[in-house]
Structure 1
Amino acid sequence: MTSQDIISKLPYSKPFLFVDEIISISENGVEGTYYFDKDLDFYKGHFISNPVTPGIILTEVMAQIGLVCLGIYILNKEFNIATSIALTSIEIDFLKPVYPNENVTVISEKIYFRFGKLKCKVSMKNQLGIEVCSGTIAGIIV
């Protein structure tokens, strides 16, 4: 399964697809990127003079790359099924703001996959390599 195959199986589309590229993926983790274009709708009203990416959007990027893409890969590899993972829990620390026109990289490491539940340690770094948020995200097979 290629990176494009995985992205095509995501249950999202623009404007709610937050995965541009999967750099690497294995049964133990995934690394991918997303670019925050300045014209995204949520910037229009989030801190009018100085737009910042909302934390819930950062969380969604981390979940789509770090949990759902990895889940699709694992389910296809281990069980040869094409299904998805739904979010069940998050615990994220926000360390730095992410501004319009920034590219971020999400790195996810599998903590466990058992009984249909996937839990990952996920971090996001900005284009300077500085960690902007990190935590754990979990989901179940749907």
Structure 2
Amino acid sequence: MEATAAAAAAPARSALPFRSRVAAAARPGRAPALSAAPGRRLVARRAAGDGQAVEAQEALPIEKRFPPFPSVMDINQIREILPHRFPFLLVDRVIEYKGGEYAVGIKNVTINDNFFPGHFPERPIMPGVLMVEAMAQVGGLVMLQPEIGGSRDNFFFAGIDKVRFRKPVIAGDTLIMRMTLTKYQKRFGLAKMEGKAYVGGDLVCEGEFLLRKEHDEVANNGLSIFLDPKRLKLQKRRHSEQTKPPPRRRWTSRFSSGSGSLRRRRVSRLISGQVSSEL
């Protein structure tokens, strides 16, 4: 009987997790707030669900587990657009493309690439400059299109800025590169692009790219003008003044000024007899 009475007097064990019970005890008279930390049963259910997803993935045939990348441009189409060739053609496929806006390309990094024997023999890492070059080639696929009007003979890589290398790219990785056109000055033939490269969902490289199209003598100093807004504004003002049509001549009567006034004076002098017979 005493044990039964003691059990009845003891408070009932709460079904809430430990953190929720502590929060409820700290706020007497209020409804217990649910903690952000999940309970053990919820964690177990989530783990079981993840396990079932893994089992379902493993139950699929091997050819269906890893679907291939979609192909918008294959290597033959890329070779028709870009002038690069082995060993500097660093784009294997284009998987997304929107004319005049952006393109997404991939580079399959393999141990057979010719830069790995020297970079580095013990730890093969793709050089950062080649990652930047590969991204610039994807940008070239955006610019050398009818929407922009570029040509493989007159469009060049002009500069880079704010480039950061986040993680190394090693042999066996698939480098996914996205280049987005952010600004294009058609009169100067200059384009600014934003580039990002990923491996397995992780950002490995990013930066801003500048591409230049040579079409006239303005392109020779267009790079510095493009980077300086004040110089760009001054150049636009000068260009508008140079292309401004000449003012139209105002029609005037022959008696209002010039030779007309001179004739009037001579006539008046003849009448008054002040002009000699030579006139």
Q: TM-score, normalised by structure 2?
A: 0.46
Name 1:97's counterpart in structure 2.
168
Decide which of 44, 54, 66 is 2:117's aligned counterpart: 44
Partner of 1:69: 141
Deviations for 1:14-64, whole angstroms, at most 9, x for unmatched residues? 211011111122211111111112111110011221111111111111110
Q: 1:122 touches 1:136 (CA, 8 Å); kept in 2?
A: yes
Distance 1:8 1:119 in 2: 23
Higher relative contact order (CA 8 A, sep 6+): 1
Cα deviation, residue 102, structure 1: 1.1
TM-score, normalised on structure 1? Answer: 0.87
3-state SS of paired residue (2:112): coil
User: Whole-Å Cα distance in 2 between the matches of residues 140 and 121 of structure 1?
Assistant: 15
* Structure 1 unmatched ranges of 5 or more: none
Shift of 1:133: 0.5
Cross-structure match for 1:59: 132
Larger radius of gyration: 2
State, as a whole percentage, how many aligned pairs show the same letter.
24
Gaps (5+ residues) in structure 2? 1-71, 215-279
Give the structure 2 partner of residue 14 of structure 1. Answer: 86
**Contact persistence 1:106–1:124 (CA under 8 A):** yes
| Structure 1 CA distance for aligned equivalents of residues 97 and 159 of structure 2 | 22
Paired letter, 1:60: E
Judging by fraction of residues, say which structure has more strand: 1
RMSD: 1.7
Please give the alpha-carbon distance, in whole angstroms, between the structure 2 residues aligned to 1:21 and 1:51.
23
1:106 maps to what in 2?
Answer: 177
* Contact in 1 for aligned 2:107/2:176 (Cα 8 Å): yes
What residue number does 2:213 align with? 141
